[in-house]
Amino acid sequence: MGSKNVRFDWTSADVVSLMARGSERQQRALRAIRCARVFELLADYSPFLAGSVPLGVDLPERSDLDFLCAFQEGDAEGFAGALGTCFGHHPEFKCSLERYEGWETVCCGFRYLGEIFEFFAQARPVSEQDGYRHLVIEAGLLDLMGDAGRSRIREMKRGGLKTVPAIATAFGLPGDPYDALLEIYAVGSSSADTFVDLENVLREMWRAGLRNLNEMSAPRAEAR
């Protein structure tokens, strides 16, 4: 079982530091990110690496590098233009303007150095976006499970689940898995403390308490 304490104020520097001292896969991904100069070229748009790679539960053959960004309201086309200027020369570049849950949204992707880069940007701060909040809670729940739990999540993903549903399944979270993680974030982030005991947050939300953490951490076969 890992740490129960979770920070709710992750920064891009935190993610980069985690990747730099992480697995060979994480370090290789970080080298590609640095070569692409994502953080320098998009500094005005607060790029933040989310998704499964910084969490260490990615499947290299099918996991993208997922970035969150933020632009000013009404500047979706300006951000899309910046993406085209910076990365439009890379293979498989694509960019679209959409509305997601009422928010102006820009989605972009390209391939570089063997990695697929994906960008999801909205006209609201990165820290208010679902992808950011999912990552914070995913990281905390994975820390509760420990290394064996991460292996179990990867196995569940090989069976077809995405990261959030796999983690929600492992913890027996009720309802929609994405909404469940956002609810945990809302409860945990309401604390004035820098570090929040995630296990206590879960116990408060589900008064019956957590399932046995040792059982959850133990790798076991999943139904396919």
Domain boundaries, the chain: 10-127, 131-217
The rounded distance, in Å, linking the Cα atoms of 105 and 93 is 17
Which residue type does 221 have? A
pLDDT over 50 (residue 88)? yes
In this structure, what are the phi and psi dihedrals at residue 157, rounded to the nearest 5 degrees? Answer: -70, -35
Provide CATH code, domain 10-127: 3.30.460.10
72-95 mean pLDDT = 97
The whole-number pLDDT of residue 62 equals 73
Q: What is the Cβ-side half-sphere exposure of residue 183, based on CA atoms within 13 angstroms?
A: 13
Under the banding of pLDDT at 50, 70 and 90, the label for residue 4 is: low
Q: What is the pTM of this model?
A: 0.86
The whole-number pLDDT of residue 197 equals 80
